[in-house]
Amino acid sequence: MRLALNATLAKNYTSQSQKVRVLTEAWVDNAVFCPNCGHPDIDKSPNNQPVADFYCLNCREEYELKSKQNTIGTKIVDGAHRTMLERLTSSNNPNFFLLNYDPSNLEVINFLVIPKHFFVPEIIEKRKPLSTMAQRAGWIGCNILLRSIPQTGKIFFIKNKQVEPKKKVLAEWQKTLFLREEKEISARGWLLDVMRCVDKLERKEFKLDDIYTFEKELNQLHPDNKHIKDKVRQQLQVLRDKGYLDFVERGTYQLR
């Protein structure tokens, strides 16, 4: 997988944003395989496609591309807040490709995919309305909070200019597909919250009591739930049953 963007493709464009769009879209079109099925052909969507930038010719999985200079950061600027929230419950909500590049030499630094089943309202940040002086006065955009997505929801093809094995990318994608089985967003949100708590422990093996230390934090996220510990145990059991965790012994779990 080549890291260089083909600068010659953008020589006829004057707008920097147009140049970046042309270069990054061409790179994805030529270099990236589908993380869902492994098919080598990711193709650009037709111009009249309202949501996705790319789709897989084999499994029809859809992807939207976002690009950033220099560093990935903690959030991605996205479109209208209301539109994004509507998309979370729709059938055509795409996965997100995130490409981070070095503008000095036009090389890809990081490229990752965030599967659509990690998108819940809690990771969408509402921006301030545009001022009355703006052309679109009152328009409200949103940010995608990368820090609120569990680590397993950030699947790298390229990390710090190092290409990850295709087999690893495909395995990491398959590991969390069970989340799509949960159609109710609030229930999926609970699973993601517990997955984030496990991430924060920064170790593969942990005890139930370790997750209980996040009780206050989880209570703030779910103020209507008066039985946080019971819910935590339930979510850990689901993650165990889906193969995300292994049960080691009573009160002890291990990440696969």
- Per-residue pLDDT tens digits for 25-34: 999 999 999 9
pLDDT in tens, 174-200: 999 999 998 888 899 999 999 999 999
Q: What pLDDT is recorded for position 186?
A: 87
For 123-163, write each residue's pLDDT tens digit.
999 999 998 888 888 899 999 999 999 999 999 999 999 99
Is the pTM higher than 0.85? The answer reads yes
Q: Give the CATH number of domain 182-256; options: 1.10.10.10, 3.40.50.360, 3.30.2130.10, 1.10.420.10.
A: 1.10.10.10
Q: How far is CA 250 from CA 140, 206, 227, in A?
A: 48, 11, 20
pLDDT reported for residue 91: 66
Tens digit of each residue's pLDDT (9 = 90 or more) over 38-97:
999 899 887 655 567 899 999 999 999 999 988 888 998 888 898 888 888 776 788 999
What pLDDT score was predicted for residue 211?
Answer: 96
Q: Please check whether residue 23 is in contact with residue 5, taking contact to mean a CB–CB distance below 8 angstroms.
A: yes
Give residue limits of the domains in the chain: 1-165, 182-256
Assigned CATH class of 1-165: alpha beta
More confident residue, 205 or 18: 205
pLDDT score, position 39: 95
Please tell me the predicted confidence (pLDDT) of residue 13: 83
* pLDDT at residue 47 in the model: 66
pLDDT at 78: 87
CATH topology of 1-165 equal to that of 182-256?
no
